[in-house]
Structures are given as structure tokens and as C-alpha cells.
Homo-oligomer: A and B are copies of this chain.
Amino acid sequence: MYSTTMPDSRESRQLRFAQSSGALSTSEIRDLMSLATAPDIISFAGGMPGNELFPLDEMDRIYNNLTQTEKQTALQYGPTSGLPSLLESLAGYLEAKGLPVKTNRLMITTGSLQAIHILARAFIDPGDRVLVENPSFIGALSAFRACQAELQAIPLRGDGMDMKLLAEKLSDEEPLPKFLYYAPNFHNPAGIIYSMEVKRQMIALLQGRNIPVIEDDVYSDIWFHEEDLPGMQNLKAINPEGIDICFTGSFSKIVGPGLRLGWMLVPEPIYRKCELIKQSIDACSPSFSQVIADKFIRSGEIYRYTARVREEYKRRGLAMITALETDLPDYVTFERPRGGFYTWLQLPEGSDATLILKKAIEKGVVFVTGKTFDPAGRQNDHMRVSFCNTDVESIRRGIPLIAQAIREVIEK
């Protein structure tokens, strides 16, 4: 049998190391995914929208009204930055949210993860420091690890990053971090909203230091309480002088992740670098998806659809809060989600969520362990319990089983 030492880049070694050192392995993710879709399992593990919530009728209507020319566009290459028609309609959509579209450049990406990946490539050399939250979105951590960044984690509190620790990190000796990555609204996995006060402090700390911010805001349309909206203003919308803010977003939560469409809204000089990098990755994002997404915005379906799913996610989120309040032991605490897809349970310090997961699987429920979201891949005394892909009835049946699994491990 032929065998060889495979040539292997530092990048691929780094990704394998990161995987082995804490986050879930590919096979574990695959196992969890198959559990998550097994018919007899109640899954609180996924971060995907519920299949039954997708806008199939709207999509049929859109497809069947496409002209021949639009269908040709859907099958053809498009510009690296995105189809002009979608760039225009999306700009309108974002401008209505108060984002400074006219003084920045918009680029369509293959999911918002690709936007984050490209920004990482534009800024990071191997060994560079970048600031991230703990816990943080695993896709972004993976993109930063692929660039061989040194991840410097700032713990999250109920209202955002710990500002005292951010100030300390920034007063460390040189070299300064290449950027700060954060997710302002309905955080994955922590479920929190950043307060305006914390955002004001972030601005004060970053201003004039030449540290860009990647602001990853993919859940903000899934709010439960309209009164939260003013406080959810993006740093990009505040548009503070002296900070380059790279705003990223996605169609995944407001149409469907299968389109694989996201975007970045960034200052022109950063845009120019990112366009070259995207050319080297996939040349352009799927035109087919872009034609559909454009129609979704222009027809106004995006507003009607988002309003509809927002109500359903709210029902699920509130059912989740009620179930957790009823069933969880007192030593498990959590922030009540006010939107998004996730609750983040804090176990007694030093608990091992992996043991609880094993018990939970025996009982027919799954969730994701805390260490998956720790930039260092270690801290495991949290659990991400999502409600995006689980109906109210299943939430009511499943959360008591989660609570039992916790009790059996912690109180044993």
C-alpha cells in the first residue's frame, strides 16, 4: 500500500490543532448534526432556522415571475462584489436601518462567514493578535485560526464585553491587536444584547488607536420586544470618527442559509483589499441566490416574512424561558433572551458540560457544550440551548430532560 508524508501547510496544521484542542471535531459535529435531525431526538443544538419556517410560497412566486433575462443572470457569472441590482436593493434595505451606505462600500459574500473570513485575510498575518469575545461565534474563531491569529479573549457579561478587561488588553505593550471582533445583538451563543453604555465605552477606548472593529450583526431582525430597537443601534450606524468599522450581515436568518449570501459594509480602502481576496476565493457569490434575494427585498417579502418568523421565534423563546425557569435547578443561571436563537446556561463553576451532553443524549435531547465557543477551547461550564429549530411543544417536553441530565451530573 502506497503511503507518504503529505505536504501540509501551517494553516491546515493550525486548524487541526484548534479542533483537537477543544472545539468539536468534524466527526462530533457530524454526529451531533445527525442526532439533531433524527426524528426521535429533540434538538436544542442547531443554529439553523426551522425548516418549516422557510418562505417556500414566496420563493415559488418569485421564481415563477422571473423573466428569461433574469434566469440567464441567475445562471451566469456576476461581478465579484455582487449583482448590481442586489447591491442597490440591499443598500436601500441597510440604509433604512440607519447604516452609512453612501460613505462605505457594500460587497455580497458567500454567507456572512465569508465576509468575516475575507476581513481576517485582509488584516491578519500569522501570529497577529486579534480581540474576540468569550464566548464567541465558532465560525469566526475558525476563520481567525485559519489565518493563524493569536486569539485574545475578553469575557462577556450581560450587557457586552467586560470593558475593564478590554481597557487592560489595550494598555498592554505593543503590538496592538489587528482588530476587535464582536456581535452586538442576540449574541451567538450568549444570547445577550450589548448596552448603549458598553458601546459608548468601546468607542471611547478604541477611538484614535487604529484598531478596526468587525461588527457581526446577523440576528438583529429577530427581536422580541420593539422597545429594544433604539438600544440595538450598531456601532456602524453610530459611525464614530476614527474607528474603521467593518459591518457584516447575512440573509441566512431572514430568507434562508441555503442561499449562502451575506455582505460586508466597509470603508473603501478595506473594500479594495477584500475584493481582490474574494477574487482569489470564489470569484463571485452564487448569482442564482442573488437574483432570488434581490426579488425578496424589492417585493417587500423580506419585511412580511421577517415579521412572521419573528413572532414564531418569540413564541419559542418565551416558551424556552418559561420551561427553563420551571425546570432548571437554582444553581444554573441564564440571561433571558430578548431575541435571536439562543439561551446560554451558566453551570456551577468547573462543571463539565460534556458529561451532561452524554446524559442528555441518553434521554433523547441534545445541545452544544460551552467549550465549543471558548476561543481557548477549554471553559466548559456553559451550555448553548437553542430554540430556533424546536417547536413550543418540543421545548416543553425537552427542557425537563435537559434539567434532569444537569441534575444527574452536578448532584451525583
Contact = CB atoms under 8 A, between A and B. Distances in A.
Interface of A: 2, 4-12, 15-16, 19, 26, 30, 33, 48-49, 51-52, 54-56, 59-60, 63-64, 68, 71-80, 110-111, 113-114, 117, 121-125, 128, 139, 142-143, 145-147, 178-179, 210-212, 241-242, 244, 252, 255-260, 269-270, 272-273, 275-277, 279-289, 292
Contacts of A60: 71
Query: For A68, A74, A275, which residue has the most chain B Cβ atoms within 10 angstroms?
Result: A74
Nearest to A212: B7
A260 B15 contact: no
A258 B73 contact: yes
- Determine chain A's interface SS by DSSP, over half rule: helix
A48 B48 CA distance: 34
A137 to B, nearest CB: 11
B76 A276 contact: no
B6 A257 contact: no
Given A110-B110, A280-B15, A75 B7 contact: no
Given A54-B75, A281-B281, 19 more contacts: A2-B241, A2-B242, A7-B123, A8-B273, A9-B124, A15-B277, A33-B79, A48-B77, A56-B71, A56-B75, A77-B252, A110-B110, A117-B281, A117-B282, A142-B279, A259-B287, A260-B285, A286-B288, A288-B288
